Structure 1
Amino acid sequence: MLLGPAASAKSLYAEPKYAAILVNADSGEVMYARQADAPRLPASITKVLTLYMAFDAITKGQLRETDYITMTARAAAQPPSKLGLRVGEQISVRDAIGVIATRSANDIAVALAEHIAGSEAAYCAMMTAKARSLGMTKSTFVNATGLPDKRQLTTARDIATLSRALIRDFPQYYYVFSKVAYDFEGQSIGNHNHLLKTLPGVDGIKTGFTNAAGFTLAASAAHDGVRLIAVVLGGPNRLARDGNVTSLLDTGFDVLTKRSRGQMTTVSANLSEIDDLNDQTLEHLAEQGSGDDEVLAVTRPR
């Protein structure tokens, strides 16, 4: 069963910053991969890990949702997107989580990091250590926001790993990523993830954009008891990124339906691409030693 109308959307695999992966969140199967291990700037998808760390601290009793965070000069000086609190103003941890998940507020992300670890640098060291423990072997974090820094790199595969961990480890907090809007002191703060409103089944996770990173999105959708996670990094614009994620999720669920009926098929075949570039296919091409040069050129990490 298809979720949306964009399964025929144009592939982005030739875009220079593009990387993508589609994962069955339940089984771990990689259903589609393009440059999934190539280093990329994450932009505000970084904040998924920023919030993962906060959820972890709450669960361990090191932080309470009712605690208040005081805005420092450094936090208040962060560039947009931001909430715009002034130095010395306060926000509860609960509200901080809500506005980070929806508005992607850089000022609040830094304030939260400082509140938990004493400094953003210390928090980012914790973020990188946590990333490694989750299996994000190619990710390094030096800020809590995703603002451009050539040292802050990740991969589509690592973001999918993080997304699976978030849903698995903190189901009680995952709902915050599904909110179309968050109410903060009477102000309705809209979520940047438009797929929450346009694609049935999507209930998270996080968008991002900087000029350096392009348009990024980690999206999760559940249908008929199965959850898929699609990650797209380096999209050329929002509509292309959203359309590509829609195509991947839509086609992924359609492939699962076809397989349940005995039809052996792949995501790439249904997208009319050159091959299904999942882990098994890449391993097979590498073993062959030649394979399709165009496929290998597109998918091998640079």
Structure 2
Amino acid sequence: MMRAAGSCLSRARVPAAVLCAAILAACSTAARRKPEAPARAPAVPPPPANIDSIPDAVPRPEPRSAHGNPAFYDALGKRYFVLAAADGYLERGVASWYGPTFHGVSTSSGERYDMYGMTAAHKTLPLPSYARVTNLRNGRSVVVRINDRGPFVANRLIDLSYTAAAKLDMLREGTTLVEVRALIPTQPDPLSSGCMRPACARPSFSRRWRAKRPCIVYGSGPSTAWPSSTGSRSGSRPSALPMPAWRWTKELPMLRLSTAVVTALASLSALATLLAGPARAAAPIPRPPEVNARAYLLIDHFSGRVLAQQHADDRMEPASLTKLMTAYVVFKALQEGRVKLTDPVTVSEHAWRAEGSRTFVLVGTQIPLDILLKGMIVQSGNDATIALAERVGGTEPAFAQIMNEYARRIGMKSSSFENSDGLPSPGHYTTARDMALLASALIREFPQYYSLFSLKEFMWNNIRQGNRNGLLGKDPSVDGLKTGHTDSAGYCLVTSANRTGMRLVSVVMGAASVKAREEASAALLNYGYTFFETTKVKGARETVLKPRVYKSAGEFAAVGIPYDIYVTVGRGQATSIKTSARLTKEPLVAPLPAGKPVGEVTVTDATGEVVARAPLVPFAPVAEGGLWTRAVDDVALWFH
């Protein structure tokens, strides 16, 4: 960052030498060009005579948009989590731009894209947000308003409007390396108050500093003309445009460097890149296998990454996959001590008369709860399932209400349950994605009961009852979960497998036969294990930073992540994963409660794409120091 040291003067005005950065910039003498006639008339007005005169976006308080701000969303097979707030966001990456092709098209926030506005698209910042974008190759900087989602191409960080890209002088290249710093309307822009700013207003320091401190002016060269390329999100390269010049204010002599010098510097940079050696190219990952099912989904259990999907959000009849939700509710009751495995459960006539598959329990008999659990999970007995529902919920309709509430808490947004066994009902439905969320929740929250799903058979009432999940006997890595079938739902199977510590969950719904659902599940699992790998990047409560905490007794405090971070990447690419940590509440001042986020850990893959984030939190409360410590740190904070 090109931030002059003179912008950090202390409150006490301690005399110090001002550190002035020598800024190298290229100057183009090309004359203004006339707009080239496009192949077809654009549905946009021509560019203004001086596009650099278009002002930057001005941050102002705005309500969070009703559109484009879900908790998370999926795009091109990747899941993105929208940030709760933009405070402290700072990231470096590749910027691209989009122009006339998208002019007037509705954005994710519902607004129309204006190529002459100072706007941008970002994958995770809240809509709307404001950010300062700095071109790290020439130092130019603009402020944009983020009102769209994207870009979803490889390593791109932000998509800029045509005007923002022109003011950053990146239209010719199509992409450039930038720094994106979120701006909060109620807080000062840390760069606008320093040397780097869009206009050459004099700094608000005493006269003695002005003569020594240069000011960089943006957009002072020839105005840009209409490019022959419209620009696109795929990073197309428009034709060359005049390069706006940089100059110093009249307080210093004019500084202009020849393009030969700049070219030489660029060549040296390229040579350094070559000497560093080429990055290992990622192995190609083919499309998922074609399977005979109405819907399917394959995810990694630990990272949550979706590896394959088809119609994963379409409503489907769950059939006996419903019993996974029933098991979740019963496990919760066991975990909270409301019932015990040894509790006798009386079989009602309603349970005894249940249609479909049965565990062969008799009306009026009392059966231990753990036997009924096995009857439901292994044999898929509807009679055992209803008996469990009545024991935990009082009645089956009341139990269904509990099922729906827990489903909501898990995040199952597209499911509705009207019974405990899964028999067809108009308001009884789910999706493959919701079933994957439920399966992962069962594995994560109830490891003490998960082994029930791997039982191949059990004996009750002198009847041997076998598990209907045929993969348990064919693939030693498969250890659960549940089958399902009705004439209208087709053949369904939710499966989990664990190979060398990598756990996958597959969901297949609406297959044509038992064989088809097992073959589809096996094909998806083999695809995931063949082309992907999951690695644990950071462990829970692992110390990441030990920052200074002002006014604290201990001066420094350990901060880390509260849970494990797992990342799934293409097989062979785990060594390319990079992590970075930053504080978002700097400077840290005591007291600090344990568990309160003060920063963030970011994980990127080989392409530079952010694949995981986690908060940085203090592991223990940080108490205030004594009176002397607080007084000394008060003075130190003036110079921070």
Q: Same fold (TM over 0.5)?
A: yes
Q: Alpha carbons of 1:37 and 1:69: their partners in 2 closer, same or farther (altered >3 Å)?
A: same
- For 1:204, which of 471, 480, 494 is the aligned residue? 480
Corresponding residue for 2:296? 20
**Equivalent residue runs for 1:189-228 within 5 Å:** 189-228=465-504
1:260 and 2:571 are equivalent in the alignment:
yes
- For 1:118, which of 385, 394, 417 is the aligned residue? 394
- For 2:420, which of 144, 151, 159 is the aligned residue? 144
Letter in 1 for 2:291: S
Cα deviation digits, residues 19-46 of structure 1 (max 9, x gap): 1100000100000110000000001011
- For 1:247, which of 523, 528, 533 is the aligned residue? 523
Give 1:187 shift: 3.3
Give 1:89 shift: 1.3
Corresponding residue for 1:108? 384
Q: Which has the larger radius of gyration?
A: 2
Cα deviation digits, residues 233-291 of structure 1 (max 9, x gap): 1011111111000000011100125933249xxxxxxxxxxxxxxxxxxxxxxxxxxxx
Q: Secondary structure at the match of 1:166?
A: helix
User: Is the Cα–Cα contact under 8 Å of residues 140 and 153 in structure 1 kept in the other structure?
Assistant: yes
- For 2:347, which of 61, 71, 90 is the aligned residue? 71
**Equivalent residue runs for 1:148-163 within 5 Å:** 148-163=424-439
Letter in 2 for 1:147: L
Letter in 2 for 1:91: I
User: Is the Cα–Cα contact under 8 Å of residues 124 and 144 in structure 1 kept in the other structure?
Assistant: yes
Question: C-alpha distance in 1, partners of 2:357/2:425?
Answer: 16
User: Is the Cα–Cα contact under 8 Å of residues 23 and 160 in structure 1 kept in the other structure?
Assistant: yes
Question: C-alpha distance in 2, partners of 1:222/1:69?
Answer: 34
User: Is the Cα–Cα contact under 8 Å of residues 41 and 152 in structure 1 kept in the other structure?
Assistant: yes
- For 2:324, which of 12, 27, 48 is the aligned residue? 48
User: Is the Cα–Cα contact under 8 Å of residues 160 and 231 in structure 1 kept in the other structure?
Assistant: yes
Per residue, is there more helix in 1 or in 2? 1
Cα deviation digits, residues 67-123 of structure 1 (max 9, x gap): 111111111111120112221012110101111110000011001101111100000
Corresponding residue for 1:60? 336
Corresponding residue for 2:37? none
Corresponding residue for 2:305? 29
Corresponding residue for 1:238? 514
Q: Secondary structure at the match of 1:207?
A: strand
Q: Secondary structure at the match of 2:532?
A: helix
In the superposition, the TM-score normalised over structure 1's length comes to: 0.81
Q: Alpha carbons of 1:64 and 1:262: their partners in 2 closer, same or farther (altered >3 Å)?
A: closer
Q: Secondary structure at the match of 1:177?
A: helix
Corresponding residue for 2:548? none
Q: Say how many residue pairs are matched.
A: 252
Letter in 1 for 2:388: L
Question: C-alpha distance in 1, partners of 2:303/2:398?
Answer: 34
1:11 and 2:11 are equivalent in the alignment:
no
1:90 and 2:366 are equivalent in the alignment:
yes
Give 1:224 shift: 1.1
Letter in 2 for 1:122: A
Give 1:198 shift: 0.6
Corresponding residue for 1:279? none
Letter in 2 for 1:229: V
User: Is the Cα–Cα contact under 8 Å of residues 41 and 150 in structure 1 kept in the other structure?
Assistant: no
User: Is the Cα–Cα contact under 8 Å of residues 20 and 36 in structure 1 kept in the other structure?
Assistant: yes
Letter in 1 for 2:418: V
Corresponding residue for 1:300? none
Letter in 1 for 2:527: T
Give 1:163 shift: 0.2
Question: C-alpha distance in 1, partners of 2:506/2:468?
Answer: 17
Per residue, is there more strand in 1 or in 2? 2
Corresponding residue for 1:176? 452
Identity of aligned residues (%): 37
Q: Alpha carbons of 1:204 and 1:80: their partners in 2 closer, same or farther (altered >3 Å)?
A: same
Letter in 2 for 1:261: G
Give 1:199 shift: 1.4
Q: Secondary structure at the match of 1:221?
A: strand
Give 1:207 shift: 0.2
Question: C-alpha distance in 2, partners of 1:260/1:80?
Answer: 44
In the superposition, the TM-score normalised over structure 2's length comes to: 0.39
Give 1:10 shift: 5.3
Question: C-alpha distance in 2, partners of 1:69/1:222?
Answer: 34
Give 1:186 shift: 4.3
- Runs of 4 or more consecutive aligned structure 1 residues displaced over 4 Å after TM superposition: none
Unaligned segments of structure 2, at least 5 residues: 1-287, 534-568, 575-640
Unaligned segments of structure 1, at least 5 residues: 1-7, 264-302
Give 1:200 shift: 2.2
Q: RMSD of aligned C-alpha atoms? A: 1.6
Q: Secondary structure at the match of 1:48?
A: helix
Give 1:230 shift: 0.2
Between the two structures, name the one with larger relative contact order (CA 8 Å, sep ≥ 6).
1
Corresponding residue for 2:443? 167
User: Is the Cα–Cα contact under 8 Å of residues 20 and 34 in structure 1 kept in the other structure?
Assistant: yes
Letter in 2 for 1:224: T
User: Is the Cα–Cα contact under 8 Å of residues 289 and 524 in structure 2 kept in the other structure?
Assistant: no
Question: C-alpha distance in 1, partners of 2:412/2:345?
Answer: 29
Give 1:63 shift: 0.4
Question: C-alpha distance in 1, partners of 2:499/2:391?
Answer: 38
